[in-house]
Amino acid sequence: MSTIHLSEQETLRREKLAELIMMGVEPYPAALYPVNTHSNTIREQFNAENKDQFADVCLAGRIMSVRDMGKANFAVIQDAHGRIQLYLKRDDICPGEDKSLYDIVWKKLLDIGDFIGIRGYVFITKTGETSVHVKELTLLSKSLRPLPIVKEADGQTFDAVTDPEFKYRQRYADLIINPAVKETFTRRTKMINSIREFLNNQGALEVDTPVLQSIPGGAAARPFMTHHNALDIPLYLRIANELYLKRLIVGGFDWVYEFSRNFRNEGMDRTHNPEFTILEFYTAYKDYFWMMETTEQLLEKAAMDVCGSTEVPVGDKTISFKAPFKRISIFDAIQEHTGFDVSRMNEEQLRSVCKQLHLHVDNTMGKGKLIDMIFGEKCEKTYVQPTFIIDYPVEMSPLTKKHREKQGLVERFELMINGKEIANAYSELNDPIDQRERFEEQVKLMERGDDEAMFIDNDFLRALEYGMPPTSGIGIGIDRLCMLLTNQVSIQDVLLFPQMRPEQPAGPKTEEAEKE
């Protein structure tokens, strides 16, 4: 049996828990608590004229601070909507002769972090602070672990613990002590609701597609692999939902979309997490020109709904989501930023360019990956304002329709904002013979050692053979878009529970550790 190593504070709180139980106080009551208001409602609506409406309020929350003033105390509790000050008098809580319950429970056995329920009336203190005069107090949950140290000044909270290891691993504690963190995730939900509203109003249908797939298709990425015991077959966590959504277009839907949880077994950094959210939608009888205009409309609406403006602060920059966005071909972008015209180069010539640009390449990389590396390393970060990078070489885009006018290119765009890819879209390839040939080229890359090359999906090819109408599709990185609209620099700051290494078990501090 493992040993739990407790700090002095944790040990003390467990002793208080035992004492409460001995006194007959239930530290974790199961009964419903009749909350009838919240902190923000009191702060925003209470005034001298409507005080009768706040003569009997009942709210609950976590104790965040206490000021002991003898027979009376001030405290602050925090609920889901903010904080409110409480005023507690010994004679109100214990109106009889025996004041021991107040003296022992409130002053000795309750701690910062405990959940309490209170009933009372609202008033304004001599210092102008809207507060609740408490008439009844109930312990709702005893906290056995002290909150991280928090500093407060001028009505603002400052987290003394800024270590990402703490913030991301113990998100629950981060949310308690940092109100701004909660606002980030509130705005994330507002952003997703805005996008969903836009699509629903356009007549799109939200659908669900499989997360466990026998073939990881729809993107060039390394998948996570698992095993299905009953069927005795390998399965993959989806890297994209594209091929399933296209099957629905084949089946007769005109416009489908999905907020897809995807998984890619790749590196982690400030813009990559192995588990992430993508919005993909596919629309029949449209092309990538239509998709660019639709994307501009969607993002302009999201910025307005979340930020109240199309001009969004991101770090020390201001990003304008006002349509239209700039458009430039990938070859023109590379020439503009490197001086090399790679539009007619073969694989060996591209390798030579990479060498001159001091980019590391290996033999597994084909023409498409070489061009992608040049753009990614030398061009991508320069596009701060929303910019559509258009007209990619066919080698980079195995699921995209060939360009109607430009030989060797496809009708594809990527949207760059603040130096990062936010969206990827195509005029979708609907020629089943061409698609099979593209898949076969991917197999050749896989045989060379490219572990991100696509598998052949024969069922998807069969679906295309039934006929898919002209279609345009897009994938939008929800996490990256959220970073922009909430002014966060790391993807971990817009994920409630980002992936982390397993936590090392804590042990008792050694004498050497204490010295350090």
Token reading at 176: 């308690």
Q: Do domains 8-147 and 180-325+385-494 have the same CATH topology?
A: no
Residue with tokens 């598998």: 455
Residue with tokens 């002053």: 107
Adjacency order of strands within the sheet including 326-329 = 205-206, 255-263, 275-284, 471-477, 420-427, 409-417, 387-393, 326-329
What is the maximum alpha-carbon separation in the chain?
Answer: 94
Cis peptide before 164 (omega within 30 of 0): no
3-state DSSP assignment of residue 274: coil
pLDDT of residue 399: 85
| Angle subtended at Cα 94 by Cα 91 and Cα 98, rounded to the nearest 5 degrees | 105
pLDDT of residue 472: 97
Q: d(Cα 76, Cα 63) in Å, to the nearest integer?
A: 6
Look at strands 72-79 and 205-206 and give their pairing: unpaired
CA 31 distance to own-chain centroid: 34
Q: What is 8-147's CATH number, 3.40.50.1220, 2.40.50.140, 3.40.50.2300, 3.40.50.300?
A: 2.40.50.140
Contact 319, 385 (CB under 8 A): yes
| Angle subtended at Cα 67 by Cα 62 and Cα 73, rounded to the nearest 5 degrees | 85
Look at strands 82-89 and 130-141 and give their pairing: parallel
pLDDT of residue 81: 95
Token reading at 309: 């403006």
Q: Which positions ≥6 away from 474 have C-beta within 8 Å? A: 280, 281, 291, 295, 423, 424, 425, 426
At the topology level, CATH places domain 180-325+385-494 in BirA Bifunctional Protein; domain 2 (3.30.930)
E strand residue ranges, 11-127: 57-68, 72-79, 82-89, 115-124
pLDDT of residue 160: 47
pLDDT of residue 505: 67
Q: d(Cα 267, Cα 451) in Å, to the nearest integer?
A: 14
Domain map (residue ranges) of the chain: 8-147, 180-325+385-494
Q: Which positions ≥6 away from 451 have C-beta within 8 Å? A: 222
Global pTM exceeds 0.85: yes
pLDDT of residue 504: 74
Residue with tokens 């509203």: 197
CA distance to 115, 116, 135, per residue, from 28 (Å): 10, 10, 21
Q: d(Cα 259, Cα 255) in Å, to the nearest integer?
A: 14
Helices (H), 340-471: 347-356, 367-378, 432-447, 458-466
Q: Give the torsion through C-alpha atoms of 324, 325, 327, 333, to 10 deg.
A: 160
Three-class secondary structure assignment of 223-237: CCEEEECCCCEEEEE
pLDDT of residue 397: 84
Contact 155, 83 (CB under 8 A): no
Which regions of the chain are under pLDDT 70? 1-3, 97-101, 150-162, 505-516
Contact 317, 384 (CB under 8 A): yes
Q: d(Cα 128, Cα 187) in Å, to the nearest integer?
A: 31
pLDDT of residue 515: 40
Give the amino acid at 303: A
DSSP conformation class of 408: T
Give the amino acid at 496: L
Token reading at 118: 């209170």
Token reading at 234: 């390998």
List beta partners, residue 387: 326, 416
Contact 39, 81 (CB under 8 A): yes
Go through 478-514 and write b for each residue having 16 or more CB atoms within 10 A of its CB, e for each that does not.
bbbbbbbbbbbeebbbbbeebeeeeeeeeeeeeeeee
